[in-house]
Amino acid sequence: MKILFVRFSSIGDVVLTTPVIHATKEQIDNVEIHYLTKKPFLSIVEPNPNVSKVYTIEKSVDEVIGQLKDERYDWIIDLHNNIRTKGLKSKLRFPSRTFRKLNVEKWLLVNAKINRMPDLHVVDRYFEAVKHLGVKPDGKSGDFIIQLEDEVDLMDWKLQPKAFVTIAIGAQHETKCLPVEKLVELIDLINDPVVLVGGPTDEAKAQDILSKSKKEIVNTVGELNLQQSASLVKQSKHLITHDTGMMHIASCFAVPMSTVWGNTVPDFGMYPYQPENKTYSMHQVDGLKCRPCSKIGSESCPKKHFDCMLKQDISAIAESITE
């Protein structure tokens, strides 16, 4: 049997498909798994030993449609469920199954504050798309493979294994992030060495933190690629992260972590996926009538007060760090 899994973006969502990939590979004899994603996420999927071939696109499925037709898949498993994947399935005309995106339920939660979301992790909804193949959840977390060349030598940063706290300071949208002053307040309460991770877009924020904190901080922001940052997180004692891709990557390693939630809520089903042993805490401001204000996030608080982050209990986050 040959199966094409489809998930175009983003980091966390692609990582969250890997429990389904692993279970499918383990539970179906002689299955060949292919994966279609966007080019920026190739490095997440390509090292996965359960995936035989990865196809990528930059903008349009037409870039690979001819090659995909030649593969003659037995099944397409659509774990994205958008206009692009609908077009893909229409053009390929192979048997397919699609996960439930629950856009209506998400709209109700954001706009009417009516919670009709099922008490299910999104990974469990992904598994529904392969239920007809006899594939079931196997109780395992996801897979994130770090290539040897991306493994970080802690000595280069004067760090010791499992003896430092990593903070992923960014997120795709600002309303998912603690403001700089709150990050500084948090860092100054941490007794362990602190390491900052983030991408090039987080560099200005990192410099602002360095200038305001009393603590000596190891700043890797903008210095490491995603796999290298993941290597650093894997070797951490603890991770502090917003609702972002690094949260889902850390779940693959069972790294203890404190997850900080702003405009989004765990009710969307995108909290850390750890079916065996929960190693995380969740920190959110309860009782806010405006939350969630978006299913993904925005660049500023639509209510102008940003209470979901400014009212976070910073001491509680610091105290949640594992000993």
Smallest CA-to-CA distance from 80 within 99, 64, 94, 93 is with 99
Q: Please, what is the Cα angle at 257 between 301 and 170, to 5 degrees?
A: 35
Domains in the chain with CATH codes:
2-133 (3.40.50.2000), 148-319 (3.40.50.2000)
Report the alpha-carbon distance of residue 291 to residue 300 in Å, rounded.
14
Q: pLDDT tens digits, the chain, 323 residues: what are they?
A: 999 999 999 999 999 999 999 999 999 999 999 999 999 999 999 999 999 999 999 999 999 999 999 999 999 999 999 999 999 999 999 999 999 999 999 999 999 999 999 999 999 999 999 999 999 999 999 999 999 999 999 999 999 999 999 999 999 999 999 999 999 999 999 999 999 999 999 999 999 999 999 999 999 999 999 999 999 999 999 999 999 999 999 999 999 999 999 999 999 999 999 998 899 999 999 999 999 999 999 999 999 999 999 999 999 999 999 76
Name beta bridge partners: 181: none
Q: Please tell me the pTM assigned to this model.
A: 0.96
3-state secondary structure of 77: strand
Closest CA to 197 of 172, 166, 173: 166
